[in-house]
Amino acid sequence: MKTPRMRDTLSFIKDYIKLHDYAPTVAEIARGLGLKSTGVTHRYIKQLEEVGMLRLVEGKRRNIELSEPEKDENFCLPLLGKIAAGRPIEAIPGIETIDLARTLLGDDRYILKVSGDSMIEEGIFDGDLVVCVHSNTAKNGDVVVALVDEESATLKRFYQPSKNKIVLQPANADHAAMEFEAQRIKIQGIMIGLLRIAA
Protein backbone atom coordinates (compact mmCIF):
# COMPACT_ATOMS: atom_id res chain seq x y z
CA MET A 1 0.00 0.00 0.00
CA LYS A 2 1.38 3.42 -0.94
CA THR A 3 1.77 6.11 1.70
CA PRO A 4 0.89 9.75 0.88
CA ARG A 5 4.60 10.53 0.41
CA MET A 6 5.02 7.57 -1.92
CA ARG A 7 2.01 8.76 -3.95
CA ASP A 8 3.45 12.28 -4.12
CA THR A 9 6.79 10.89 -5.26
CA LEU A 10 5.20 8.71 -7.94
CA SER A 11 3.00 11.58 -9.16
CA PHE A 12 6.03 13.87 -9.45
CA ILE A 13 7.96 11.24 -11.42
CA LYS A 14 5.02 10.65 -13.79
CA ASP A 15 4.49 14.39 -14.36
CA TYR A 16 8.21 14.97 -14.89
CA ILE A 17 8.44 12.19 -17.48
CA LYS A 18 5.38 13.52 -19.33
CA LEU A 19 6.94 16.98 -19.45
CA HIS A 20 10.54 16.08 -20.28
CA ASP A 21 10.34 12.60 -21.85
CA TYR A 22 12.98 11.37 -19.41
CA ALA A 23 13.06 10.55 -15.72
CA PRO A 24 14.13 12.95 -12.97
CA THR A 25 17.18 12.36 -10.80
CA VAL A 26 16.84 11.77 -7.07
CA ALA A 27 18.02 15.34 -6.42
CA GLU A 28 15.40 16.74 -8.81
CA ILE A 29 12.68 14.72 -7.11
CA ALA A 30 13.79 15.98 -3.69
CA ARG A 31 13.70 19.60 -4.89
CA GLY A 32 10.33 19.10 -6.56
CA LEU A 33 8.81 17.70 -3.38
CA GLY A 34 10.47 20.24 -1.12
CA LEU A 35 12.57 17.62 0.66
CA LYS A 36 15.97 18.54 2.05
CA SER A 37 17.30 14.99 2.16
CA THR A 38 17.99 12.96 -0.97
CA GLY A 39 18.32 9.96 1.35
CA VAL A 40 14.66 10.24 2.33
CA THR A 41 13.72 10.64 -1.33
CA HIS A 42 15.72 7.56 -2.26
CA ARG A 43 13.85 5.60 0.41
CA TYR A 44 10.49 6.52 -1.15
CA ILE A 45 11.82 5.49 -4.56
CA LYS A 46 12.99 2.13 -3.20
CA GLN A 47 9.60 1.58 -1.58
CA LEU A 48 7.89 2.27 -4.91
CA GLU A 49 10.23 -0.21 -6.54
CA GLU A 50 9.39 -2.82 -3.90
CA VAL A 51 5.64 -2.54 -4.58
CA GLY A 52 6.22 -2.77 -8.33
CA MET A 53 5.33 0.79 -9.35
CA LEU A 54 8.73 1.55 -10.91
CA ARG A 55 12.07 0.00 -11.82
CA LEU A 56 15.61 1.18 -11.12
CA VAL A 57 17.99 0.53 -14.03
CA GLU A 58 21.63 -0.01 -13.11
CA GLY A 59 24.32 2.05 -14.78
CA LYS A 60 22.17 5.06 -15.68
CA ARG A 61 22.12 8.47 -13.99
CA ARG A 62 18.43 8.86 -14.75
CA ASN A 63 17.70 5.29 -13.80
CA ILE A 64 14.00 5.41 -12.95
CA GLU A 65 11.49 3.70 -15.22
CA LEU A 66 7.76 3.39 -14.64
CA SER A 67 6.53 -0.19 -14.55
CA GLU A 68 3.32 0.71 -16.40
CA PRO A 69 3.87 4.11 -18.00
CA GLU A 70 0.58 4.25 -19.86
CA LYS A 71 -1.69 3.05 -17.07
CA ASP A 72 -3.19 5.41 -14.53
CA GLU A 73 -4.19 3.19 -11.62
CA ASN A 74 -6.18 6.00 -10.05
CA PHE A 75 -8.98 5.54 -12.55
CA CYS A 76 -9.96 2.18 -11.03
CA LEU A 77 -11.74 1.28 -7.81
CA PRO A 78 -12.11 -2.27 -6.50
CA LEU A 79 -15.42 -4.08 -6.87
CA LEU A 80 -15.46 -5.85 -3.51
CA GLY A 81 -18.60 -7.96 -3.89
CA LYS A 82 -22.39 -7.79 -3.67
CA ILE A 83 -24.38 -5.80 -1.13
CA ALA A 84 -27.91 -6.71 -0.08
CA ALA A 85 -30.75 -4.28 -0.72
CA GLY A 86 -33.33 -6.69 0.63
CA ARG A 87 -32.65 -9.01 3.52
CA PRO A 88 -29.01 -8.97 4.65
CA ILE A 89 -26.76 -11.42 2.82
CA GLU A 90 -23.13 -12.38 3.20
CA ALA A 91 -20.76 -9.85 1.65
CA ILE A 92 -18.46 -11.83 -0.65
CA PRO A 93 -15.20 -10.22 -1.85
CA GLY A 94 -14.75 -9.87 -5.62
CA ILE A 95 -11.70 -9.32 -7.77
CA GLU A 96 -12.91 -6.91 -10.46
CA THR A 97 -12.12 -3.23 -10.79
CA ILE A 98 -14.39 -0.48 -12.11
CA ASP A 99 -13.08 2.51 -14.08
CA LEU A 100 -14.49 5.78 -12.71
CA ALA A 101 -14.43 9.48 -13.34
CA ARG A 102 -11.65 11.40 -11.63
CA THR A 103 -14.04 13.08 -9.15
CA LEU A 104 -15.04 9.75 -7.60
CA LEU A 105 -11.52 8.59 -6.86
CA GLY A 106 -9.73 8.13 -3.59
CA ASP A 107 -7.92 5.46 -1.63
CA ASP A 108 -10.80 5.31 0.86
CA ARG A 109 -13.47 4.55 -1.76
CA TYR A 110 -14.84 1.32 -3.16
CA ILE A 111 -17.77 -0.10 -5.14
CA LEU A 112 -20.49 -2.57 -4.22
CA LYS A 113 -23.08 -4.17 -6.47
CA VAL A 114 -26.68 -3.92 -5.25
CA SER A 115 -28.68 -7.12 -4.88
CA GLY A 116 -32.40 -6.68 -4.15
CA ASP A 117 -35.13 -4.07 -4.40
CA SER A 118 -35.42 -2.51 -0.96
CA MET A 119 -33.93 0.85 -2.06
CA ILE A 120 -35.84 1.35 -5.33
CA GLU A 121 -37.69 4.45 -4.10
CA GLU A 122 -34.28 6.10 -3.76
CA GLY A 123 -33.56 5.17 -7.39
CA ILE A 124 -31.21 2.37 -6.34
CA PHE A 125 -32.08 -0.76 -8.28
CA ASP A 126 -30.97 -4.38 -8.35
CA GLY A 127 -27.67 -4.60 -10.23
CA ASP A 128 -26.70 -0.95 -9.68
CA LEU A 129 -23.18 -0.10 -8.52
CA VAL A 130 -22.91 2.12 -5.46
CA VAL A 131 -19.75 4.11 -4.75
CA CYS A 132 -18.96 4.21 -1.05
CA VAL A 133 -16.42 5.89 1.17
CA HIS A 134 -14.96 3.94 4.08
CA SER A 135 -16.36 5.18 7.39
CA ASN A 136 -17.22 3.64 10.74
CA THR A 137 -19.62 6.44 11.66
CA ALA A 138 -22.72 7.89 10.02
CA LYS A 139 -25.19 10.73 10.41
CA ASN A 140 -28.95 10.32 10.52
CA GLY A 141 -30.21 10.08 6.95
CA ASP A 142 -27.00 8.72 5.41
CA VAL A 143 -27.29 5.73 3.09
CA VAL A 144 -24.84 3.33 4.69
CA VAL A 145 -23.16 -0.03 4.30
CA ALA A 146 -24.10 -1.68 7.59
CA LEU A 147 -22.68 -4.95 8.88
CA VAL A 148 -25.24 -6.84 10.98
CA ASP A 149 -24.01 -9.19 13.71
CA GLU A 150 -20.55 -9.41 12.06
CA GLU A 151 -22.09 -11.65 9.40
CA SER A 152 -24.10 -9.84 6.73
CA ALA A 153 -24.02 -6.46 5.04
CA THR A 154 -26.92 -4.37 3.85
CA LEU A 155 -27.46 -1.00 2.17
CA LYS A 156 -30.01 1.14 4.01
CA ARG A 157 -30.71 4.65 5.22
CA PHE A 158 -29.31 5.07 8.72
CA TYR A 159 -31.09 6.51 11.74
CA GLN A 160 -30.11 6.37 15.40
CA PRO A 161 -33.06 7.56 17.50
CA SER A 162 -31.21 6.79 20.73
CA LYS A 163 -27.76 5.76 21.91
CA ASN A 164 -28.75 2.11 22.13
CA LYS A 165 -30.91 1.76 19.01
CA ILE A 166 -30.20 1.89 15.28
CA VAL A 167 -32.85 1.81 12.56
CA LEU A 168 -31.98 0.71 9.02
CA GLN A 169 -34.68 2.15 6.80
CA PRO A 170 -35.41 0.71 3.34
CA ALA A 171 -36.83 2.78 0.49
CA ASN A 172 -39.56 0.38 -0.61
CA ALA A 173 -43.05 0.20 0.88
CA ASP A 174 -42.91 -3.59 0.67
CA HIS A 175 -40.00 -3.73 3.14
CA ALA A 176 -40.24 -2.87 6.82
CA ALA A 177 -37.67 -0.85 8.72
CA MET A 178 -35.21 -2.96 10.69
CA GLU A 179 -34.46 -2.02 14.30
CA PHE A 180 -31.34 -3.25 16.06
CA GLU A 181 -29.52 -2.81 19.32
CA ALA A 182 -26.66 -0.45 18.48
CA GLN A 183 -23.92 -2.95 19.33
CA ARG A 184 -25.20 -5.32 16.63
CA ILE A 185 -24.43 -2.84 13.85
CA LYS A 186 -21.08 -1.74 12.45
CA ILE A 187 -20.99 1.00 9.84
CA GLN A 188 -18.53 0.10 7.08
CA GLY A 189 -19.14 2.90 4.62
CA ILE A 190 -21.36 5.69 3.34
CA MET A 191 -22.80 5.76 -0.16
CA ILE A 192 -21.56 8.76 -2.14
CA GLY A 193 -22.45 7.83 -5.70
CA LEU A 194 -24.40 5.52 -7.99
CA LEU A 195 -23.43 3.95 -11.29
CA ARG A 196 -25.76 2.21 -13.70
CA ILE A 197 -24.24 0.62 -16.77
CA ALA A 198 -26.68 0.05 -19.64
CA ALA A 199 -26.70 -3.41 -21.15
Give me the residue spans of the domains in the chain.
4-66, 77-195
Would you state the pLDDT for residue 71?
A: 46
If residue 144 lies in a helix (H) or strand (E), which one and from where to where? strand 143-148
Superfamily of domain 77-195: Umud Fragment, subunit A (2.10.109.10)
Cα separation, 179 vs 159, in Å, equals 10
Alpha-carbon span 97 to 93, nearest angstrom? 12
Provide the CATH topology of domain 4-66.
Answer: Arc Repressor Mutant, subunit A (1.10.10)
Is this model's pTM higher than 0.85 or not? no
In the three-class reduction of DSSP (H, G, I as helix; E, B as strand; rest coil), residue 92 is classed as coil
Give me the long-range contacts of 155-159 (CB less than 8 A, separation at least 24). 155/83, 155/84, 155/85, 155/112, 155/114, 155/119, 155/124, 155/130, 155/191, 156/118, 156/119, 157/122, 158/187
C-alpha to C-alpha distance for 195 and 111, rounded to whole angstroms: 9
Q: What is the pLDDT of residue 97?
A: 62
Distance of CA 136 to the CA centre of its chain: 14
Residue 63: per-residue pLDDT: 86
The Cα–Cα gap between 16 and 181 comes to: 54
pLDDT of 125 reads 95
* Residue positions annotated with a catalytic role: 118, 156
pLDDT in tens, the chain (199 residues): 467 888 889 889 988 888 888 889 999 999 999 988 888 888 889 888 888 888 888 877 788 888 754 445 556 667 777 777 776 666 555 556 666 554 465 667 888 999 999 999 999 999 999 989 889 999 999 999 999 998 889 999 999 999 999 999 999 999 999 999 999 999 999 999 888 877 6
Q: Look at residue 56 in the predicted model and tell me its pLDDT.
A: 86
CA–CA dist 116, 48 (Å, integer):
41
- Maximum distance among all alpha carbons in the chain? 69
Distance of alpha carbon 13 from alpha carbon 66, whole angstroms: 8
Please report the pLDDT score of residue 178 as a whole number.
Answer: 95
DSSP-H helix ranges across 35-167: 38-50
Per CATH, 4-66 and 77-195 having the same topology is answered no
